[in-house]
């Protein structure tokens, strides 16, 4: 009996290339689905890092002209993943990141680069590789948004298509003149096709033409139906809302495991919480903070951006310090925010420590050593940082939005009575509300037995991919059965 096959179509995948949470999801979900009898192949552009990591590879198809040059579709393995790689040097063999050049600007041929990704995905879906004909083509974010469109307009028997939104703020919109190079029929440039306010919309195309839509948390699935969070696509999503499902992301719980983590000062688990103190001591030393064993230590691991709400935290530092607390922050992004936090660290040595940039080891050490992790995002489709925090007993203090609201149980009076709290939520996402949450945290910190109970609750939370894998498996198989009927 042949296995159930899924083609995952992505522009980045951990550990080969990563700019955000999309790569983590794309890297972890195949193995989780594999435990349910799903064979997943991941289609990825042949960026230099991908090509360098690819071991044995086999050419399974050659293109004389793939959007401007010859290309080869390779079958291989890397990073524990079964891959199809588009070896197209004219599109992908260049310095910089997957979307931007070394100058920090988007590649001016991104429309062509990711049209190729969608077109090749469609080809595989229609039997381009005889040994792997998928039952489902699973497209992730705008970069893969044309895959459902190419399959829809193929006009032949095709696999089911699923479009997943990881962040609706990024939509892949290009000038109308780019439509001509896509190779789609003329009528595809319309309201019910790929056209979006006179432009070509890659995410819009996927949302309009895929058989099923998902996003990365139930909370975010509800929010994007509203104008504030729908980013102009709420009308379309409401029209197709019966096809939309929110499936909460999981975490790589092998890579993020405090009991086996070699990046932290001392391993620990929920039964050995006292050992966690060594990580707090080491973290404070690394950031030059005062020893002060009674001080509540807040941590931040984040992009420094308006979306992430870090301006609210910058405005709340006097409140945090007034509570006798300390802060360690690891982040990069907005230059003004970076300057504000660096200035605060200079003005308050021993109380605030800042490291600009990103370092995987430091991120692990903050999760293992901070008492509480602050995630004040204005919107958050899912969020992985708070999942790591739960795993490591750093109680999350989060805005009540999207996946943050779905994953953290607020320690309100009823939750305390039931013994189920795992952190603090605040709403609305404003400076005063964040400051009130900081004060709530300081009050909870005074009750050490309660705090340890909350830490154990947090560490007992199931943040693995198992639940999500079951939901995706059901969704995929149900859709495939409908299309076969």
For residue 43, pLDDT over 50 is answered with yes
**pLDDT level of residue 1 (50, 70, 90 thresholds):** very low
Backbone angles phi, psi at 403, to 5 degrees: -70, -20
Residues 114-167: pLDDT tens digits? 999 999 999 999 999 999 999 999 999 999 999 999 999 999 999 999 999 999
Residues 359-381: pLDDT tens digits? 999 999 999 999 999 999 999 99
Residues 394-448: pLDDT tens digits? 999 999 999 999 999 999 999 999 999 999 999 999 999 999 999 999 999 999 9
Residues 55-104: pLDDT tens digits? 889 999 999 999 999 999 999 999 999 999 999 999 999 999 999 999 98
Which residue did the predictor score with more confidence, 234 or 104? 234
**Contacts for 193 with CB less than 8 Å, ≥ 6 apart:** 149, 184, 187, 205, 208, 209
Strands 81-87 and 71-78: what pairing?
antiparallel
Distance CA 149, CA 225 (A): 22
Distance CA 376, CA 78 (A): 35
For residue 392, pLDDT over 90 is answered with yes
Q: 217 near 25, Cβ under 8 Å? A: no
**So what's the pLDDT on residue 2?**
57
Strands laid side by side in the 136-140 sheet: 57-63, 71-78, 81-87, 38-45, 4-9, 136-140, 160-165, 212-215, 244-246
Residue 87 is encoded by which pair of tokens? 């070896």
Residues 246-287: pLDDT tens digits? 999 999 888 899 999 999 999 999 999 999 999 999 999 999
Which percentage of the chain shows pLDDT scores above 90? 95
């Amino acid at each position: 009996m042949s296995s159930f096959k899924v083609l995952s179509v992505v522009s980045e995948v951990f550990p080969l290339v990563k700019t955000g949470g999309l790569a983590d999801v794309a890297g972890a979900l195949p193995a989780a689905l594999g435990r349910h009898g799903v064979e997943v192949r991941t289609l990825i552009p042949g960026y230099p890092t991908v090509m360098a990591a690819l071991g044995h590879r086999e050419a399974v198809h050659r293109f004389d002209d793939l959007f401007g040059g010859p290309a080869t579709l390779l079958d291989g393995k890397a990073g524990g993943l079964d891959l199809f790689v588009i070896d197209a040097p004219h599109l992908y063999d260049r310095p910089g990141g997957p979307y931007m050049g070394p100058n920090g600007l988007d590649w001016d041929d991104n429309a062509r680069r990711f049209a190729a990704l969608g077109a090749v995905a469609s080809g595989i879906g229609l039997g381009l590789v005889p040994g792997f004909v998928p039952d489902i083509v699973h497209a992730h974010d705008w970069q893969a948004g044309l895959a459902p469109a190419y399959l829809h307009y193929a006009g032949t028997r095709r696999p089911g298509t699923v479009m997943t939104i990881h962040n609706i703020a990024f939509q892949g919109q290009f000038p109308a003149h780019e439509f001509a190079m896509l190779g789609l029929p003329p009528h595809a440039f319309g309201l019910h096709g790929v056209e979006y306010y006179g432009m070509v919309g890659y995410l819009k195309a996927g949302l309009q033409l895929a058989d099923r839509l998902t996003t990365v948390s139930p909370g975010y699935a509800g929010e994007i139906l509203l104008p504030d969070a729908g980013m102009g696509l709420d009308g379309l999503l409401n029209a197709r809302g019966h096809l939309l499902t929110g499936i909460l992301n999981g975490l790589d719980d092998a890579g993020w495991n405090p009991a086996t983590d070699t990046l932290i000062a001392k391993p620990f688990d929920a039964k050995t919480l006292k050992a966690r103190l060594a990580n707090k001591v080491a973290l404070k030393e690394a950031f030059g903070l005062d020893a002060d064993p009674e001080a509540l230590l807040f941590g931040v691991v984040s992009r420094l951006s308006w979306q992430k709400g870090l301006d609210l935290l910058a405005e709340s530092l006097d409140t945090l310090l007034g509570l006798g607390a300390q802060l360690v922050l690891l982040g990069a992004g907005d230059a003004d925010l970076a300057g504000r936090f660096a200035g605060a660290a200079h003005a308050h040595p021993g109380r605030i420590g800042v490291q600009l940039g990103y370092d995987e080891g430091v991120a692990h050490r903050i999760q293992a050593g901070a008492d509480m992790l602050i995630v004040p995002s204005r919107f958050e489709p899912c969020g992985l940082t708070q999942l790591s925090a739960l795993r490591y007993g750093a109680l999350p203090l989060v805005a009540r939005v999207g996946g943050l609201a779905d994953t953290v149980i607020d320690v309100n009076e009823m939750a305390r009575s039931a013994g189920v709290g795992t952190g603090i939520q605040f709403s609305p996402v404003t400076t005063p509300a964040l400051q009130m949450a900081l004060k709530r945290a300081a009050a909870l910190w005074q009750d050490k037995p309660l705090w340890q109970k909350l830490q154990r609750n947090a560490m007992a939370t199931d943040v693995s991919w198992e639940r999500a894998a079951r939901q995706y498996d059901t969704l995929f198989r149900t859709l495939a059965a409908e299309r076969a009927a």
